[in-house]
Amino acid sequence: MNKTSYREAMREALREALQRDPRVILMGEDVGRYGGSYAVSKGFLDEFGPDRIRDTPLSELGFVGAGIGAALGGLRPVVEVMTVNFSLLALDQIVNTAALYRHMSGGQFGVPLVIRMASGAGRQLAAQHSHSLEGWYAHVPGIRVLAPATVEDARGMLWPALQDPDPIVIFEHAQLYNMEGDLPDPCSADIEHARVRRDGSDVSLITYGGSLWKALDAAQELAGQGISAEVLDLRVLRPLDTAAIVASVRRTRRAVVVDEGWRSGSLAAEVMARIVENAFFDLDAPPARVCSEEVPIPYAKHLEEAALPQVPKIVAAVRRMTGR
């Protein structure tokens, strides 16, 4: 085991991909000279040169479209979008072009493109830099959506994503970049299945991304109160691993979904719907969810914290459900 940060794990994943496959390029705002908005590509311009590390103009619509064209032309582009909020400027390219090309070409063309973007709140960057829109992308057929929450997944998910013949969107919660953890050697990751991060028998805490660590902290606190919580990390948001969700709920007979997205029309709602569709008669209580408040994420620190899912909210939801 080697201890490393999420940022360094992602950097090593990108470096490995660039070294292993000459078709891989990295492009986006400030990925070259500046070294990436979150310092993930620091030093890459000197190491790989400007043909493969491409600084782009501040036009998400333009450079995501260029990435699609490069993928159609035989390259394996990794396109970095600074934050999920700005990805909306490229929504047409992602949703109406990349996601649909294989279908609309009758299978003649694929778009082997990886789009990385930071997501999530907790850093006092206010509403235009803090939202969690993973559920929007998970709604769209034709793309795979990943949310690595551990250093192992940050290190291991990129290479298999680059082998996929269709577009993949990777969400990196910005609060995780400084997080440190143990990185196994060799490191591999699964881009097909959810993963149980903690075993339990009384309730399933189902989550992804930055909320995984809050769910694990909540499970630890609940254990001290005599409640055994299983924590399921979804990891792959499209296609959802329905079998893993149902298996977890059947073990514990209760489910709380933790999602930093808003409650209305959320990914949490989809997970709850699948639980009810597939495991209704296994439940001892109605499923519950802990989501962000229905407001733009505030700038003020105390208001930002109040708007987001937090450990006390998760613990309270479980205690209401179990009656303990």
Catalytic residue list contains 129: yes
CA dihedral 66, 67, 73, 78 (to 10 degrees): 160
Whether the link from the prior residue into 22 is cis, omega within 30° of 0, is no
Q: Which two tokens stand for residue 156?
A: 């291991």
Q: At 64, list the tokens.
A: 């995501």
The neighbour count for residue 188, using CB atoms within 10 Å, is 12
HSE-CB of 243 using CA atoms within 13 angstroms: 2
Closest CA to 211 of 127, 107, 290: 290
Catalytically annotated residue among 8, 12, 29, 60: 60
Q: Using alpha carbons, select from 38, 47, 51 the residue that is nearest to residue 9.
A: 38
Q: Using the 8-state DSSP alphabet, how is residue 54 labeled?
A: E
- What is the C-alpha to C-alpha distance for residues 67 and 93, in angstroms, rounded to an integer? 10
Positive or negative, the CA dihedral 81, 84, 89, 92 is positive
Active-site annotation holder among 8, 29, 80, 129: 129
Length of the chain: 324
Transcribe 119-142 into DSSP letters: E---SS--GGG----HHHHHTSTT
Report which secondary-structure segment, H or E, holds 4.
strand 2-5
> What is the per-residue burial (b if ≥16 Cβ within 10 Å, else e) of 123-153?
eebeeebbbbbbbbbbebebbbbbbbbbbbb
Calpha distance 128→94 (Å, rounded): 20
Please confirm, yes or no, whether 60 is among the known catalytic residues. yes
Strands (E) across 43-155 are located at: 53-55, 76-81, 114-119, 144-146
Instruction: Give the active site residues.
Output: 60, 129
